[in-house]
A and B are shown apart, each in its own frame.
Chain A
Amino acid sequence: MAVSEKKYYHAIQLIPENCTGCTSCVKVCPTEAIRVRNGKAQIDPNRCVDCGNCVTICKFHAILPKSDSLDIINKFQYKVAILSSSYAGQFTEDIAYPVSKQALIELGFDEVAEEAMVTDFMVGLIRDYIRQHKDIRPILSSNCPAVVRLIQVKFPSLLPNILHQEAPMSILTRFLREKIQAEKGLKDSDIGIFLIVPCVAHVTAVHQPEGAYKHLQDGAFSIGMIYGKIRDRLRKMNNEENKINTYEQGLTLALSGVEAEMVDCEDIRALSVNGTDNVIEILSKVEDHYLDQYDYIVLRSCTNGCVGGCLNVENPFVAMSRIKKLIKTSKHQKVDTSELKELYKDGEFAVVPLEPRSIMLLDQDIKQAIQKMKKLNEILVMLPGLNCSACGSPTCYALAEDIVSDKASIDDCVVLLRRHQKEEE
């Protein structure tokens, strides 16, 4: 297994001046990518999967999301925003969904599209893919970029199980690019397409799409970053009725449970899983062939799905309840997706086979790796086993691993140091 030398982009930035070295982030990282060294947090870019757990937990504004600046839209003649479905759950119910969508036009976009427009098409695509790949079970959803990266890092044996097709917002981007070029007579380079996203993983995915053949979008703005600006516009707009089309019925993609229910049918059994710890537990069971009875598993790194994204402003349960209400009380809006169906048939949405990021390896050579593992176990029995993270590594095991990889020393263990001091006294 070759470890790629590729530099990984991450939509997370560290602000060392603000970091207190508290190790909260170290403890919540699912891939053990963070260490506190010399009193400051450091992130290993090879291990980070952009789940955003550290962004959420940091109380000191030392780990911040990166988002493009809204000004970049002005580089384009025709500016399009694509709304991630969780956007609809961010506003109190006195603000009508079409109004919150119109606010983006007021903000400077020429057109606002919704991820929700392609939901029905996606359900069809996913079902077809599952039926076409009967030899692979279960098929794992690829919509959440943090989950895809988590599989690359921790579960490389499950890479073939991932649904190897573009995510809905990328499919929609393809569709819009062609439609706008034809309708408005514009060049591809005149059109700027931007995603309004709920999490850092999606910002990263826009800048460094995994497996995509084409670079599709021109930028990504987090819901949290534009929320204040949207609220300003909303105040000026006075909640006035407008004629903008909305696609509430398709908002299901923001809710991992509802997405699974939609894919589930007579010959397809679907399971929904969300939250990083749950996702990891389920992937481990898939690895053991314990969940082969499922045809499809919807996996989302955040609580309840994309509504739980760390760059949303509303609580994931409140946002979910609002979106469910919107789905229930709305009428179906038909979207003509015949063109998309043609593109899918031609294999246009297929992505390159995903490659592992095997960063958990102790050594490329198995003989060396075993020697390091032996040493690791010897160190491990000397460590106190408190997993206190005071050394800056997440667990005693991780510290032992860091020591055999020459990234730390046993003297970093403050508990051992204290014991030695007491003995000397």
Chain B
Amino acid sequence: MAEYWNVNPDYEISAKSFLADKPEADVSLEFEIAVKDFVNAGKGSAEVKNTLKRLGVDPAILRRIAVASYEAEINVTAHSEGGKMYSYIYDDSVYIRFEDKGPGISNIEQAMVPGWSTADDLVREMGFGAGLGLPNIQKNSDLLHITSEYGSTTTLEIIIYYS
């Protein structure tokens, strides 16, 4: 199984200890992402965004969370057999996990290269598939962790801190 890590050094300790403990969140959201359902794609991340607005998260941080979760949601819509988005909201950070039903990423390192994409024609016609999804998620998150097996499933986790 292949794995990819990217952690903002400022948050390395807290992020890793978070992943080890996975404390229960007071507020969590669950969203079903259907295969190639571009009509509803983005609604899960919009829900997270609207929840965070009510909690008073800094507007600039809110936009980072919006971009990272939107891109990840689109990725599941465009490239997978569908999946689920789980969002856990804490008082200092948000942890979002995307679990799909496959088919897995054949080469994660390559997928991280800006402009590289395996998007099919349908996806490109919809205006997606520019190969900027994963790099954009990385840019806007404090932790990005991808585990994937080609021919099997992919899990993508992000953590973003509010300050």
A330 neighbours in B (Cβ, 8 Å): none
B56 and A364 within 8 A (CB): yes
Chain B interface: which of A64-72, A82-90, A232-240, A283-291?
A283-291
Complex: how many Å from CA A362 to CA B52? 10
A289 and B63 within 8 A (CB): yes
Complex: how many Å from CA A360 to CA B55? 8
A366 and B91 within 8 A (CB): yes
Complex: how many Å from CA A367 to CA B56? 10
The total of interchain contacts (Cβ-Cβ below 8 angstroms) comes to 63
Complex: how many Å from CA A123 to CA B42? 34
Report the minimal beta-carbon distance from A413 to chain B, rounded to whole angstroms.
Answer: 21
B109 in the interface (beta carbon within 8 A): no
B55 neighbours in A (Cβ, 8 Å): 361-362, 366, 369-370, 373
Do A371 and B46 form a contact, CB below 8 Å, given A156-B59, A290-B70, A362-B55?
no
A181 in the interface (beta carbon within 8 A): no
Interface of B (DSSP majority class): helix
Complex: how many Å from CA A236 to CA B91? 69
A288 and B45 within 8 A (CB): yes
Q: Closest A-chain residue to B27, C-beta based?
A: A373
Contact of B26 among A284, A289, A373 (CB under 8 A): A373
- Using a Cβ–Cβ cut-off of 8 Å, how many residues does chain B contribute to the interface with A? 24
Query: Which size bracket describes the interface of A in this complex?
Result: 20 to 34
Report the minimal beta-carbon distance from A140 to chain B, rounded to whole angstroms.
Answer: 14
B89 and A360 within 8 A (CB): no
**Taking beta carbons and an 8 Å cutoff, which residues of A are in contact with B?**
1, 154, 156-157, 159, 284, 287-290, 356, 358, 360-364, 366-367, 369-371, 373-374, 377, 401
Report the minimal beta-carbon distance from A285 to chain B, rounded to whole angstroms.
Answer: 8
Report the minimal beta-carbon distance from A352 to chain B, rounded to whole angstroms.
Answer: 18
B53 in the interface (beta carbon within 8 A): yes
Do A366 and B56 form a contact, CB below 8 Å, given A289-B67, A373-B89?
yes
Do A369 and B54 form a contact, CB below 8 Å, given A156-B59, A288-B42, A288-B45?
yes
Complex: how many Å from CA A257 to CA B56? 35
Q: Closest A-chain residue to B60, C-beta based?
A: A157
Q: Beyond the given A356-B59, A373-B54, A373-B89, could you list 15 further A-B residue pairs with CB under 8 A, ordered by the A residue number?
A: A1-B58, A157-B59, A157-B60, A284-B46, A287-B63, A288-B67, A288-B70, A362-B55, A363-B56, A370-B27, A370-B55, A370-B90, A373-B26, A373-B51, A377-B27
